[in-house]
Amino acid sequence: MVIFTAGALYFNRRGFYPPRGSPLIYAIAISWLIAITALPISAIFKLSPKLFSLAHWEKEGAVYDRTSVRVFRWVLLHSPLGWINPALHLGVSRADCERLLREMNVAEGVHWLSCVLSSILAISYLVGGYAVYGYVMLLVRVPFDLYPIMLQRWNRGRVCRVLSRQLHTAV
């Protein structure tokens, strides 16, 4: 995390506005800095788990199977990006499932916050005459925020199904 942050700060050492350099590298660097900023904000403001509850059509996960979330998960697990948040790994106990659900809520909240902030910045670039930077920032939202949000929701459904099976076998 430190290396990514140092690289993003180095790339933007002459300021963040107006954007300069490669639009893709700029979008990735700004996205990383916004996510790093969103992380402590999400720790300060505890959000209700009800905000992250799954809709009826999400619970079985079929909608996420159609959007290739499994492919995204495989890429995360088989690349260095999987090391960014080691707390999102499941242990063997029921208490660990509940801990994992809390961690997934925090991760989803960070991605929602960074998606909103980055989208506002991208729209300001579009309006301000830096259309290429704005469009690239919006495009980068898909792998940086939208797919991670979908992955957290898909995994939450999986963990909830495991917990409900444990309750049925215990009764």
pLDDT in tens, 56-108: 877 777 788 788 888 888 888 888 777 776 666 666 666 677 778 888 888 88
Taking the C-alpha atoms of residue 140 and residue 119, their distance in angstroms, rounded to an integer, is: 10
* pLDDT beyond 80 at 167: no
Report if residue 49 sits inside a domain.
no
Return the pLDDT at 116.
92
Q: Confidence class of residue 134 from pLDDT cuts 50, 70 and 90?
A: very high
pTM confidence score? 0.79
Domain assignment present for 28: yes
- Within a domain: residue 107? yes
In a domain, 53, yes or no: no
3-33 pLDDT, tens digit per residue, is 666 666 666 666 666 777 888 988 888 888 8
Distance CA 108, CA 9 (A): 24
Mean pLDDT of 114-126: 91
How wide is the angle at C-alpha 81 spanned by C-alphas 80 and 86, nearest 5°? Answer: 95
CA distance 89 to 103: 10
C-alpha angle with apex 157: 107 to 145, nearest 5 degrees? 35
How many domains is the chain partitioned into structurally? 1
Range of the domain at 30: 2-44+59-83+91-170
The pLDDT score that the predictor gives to residue 147 is 92
Write down the residue that tokens 């300069």 correspond to.
20
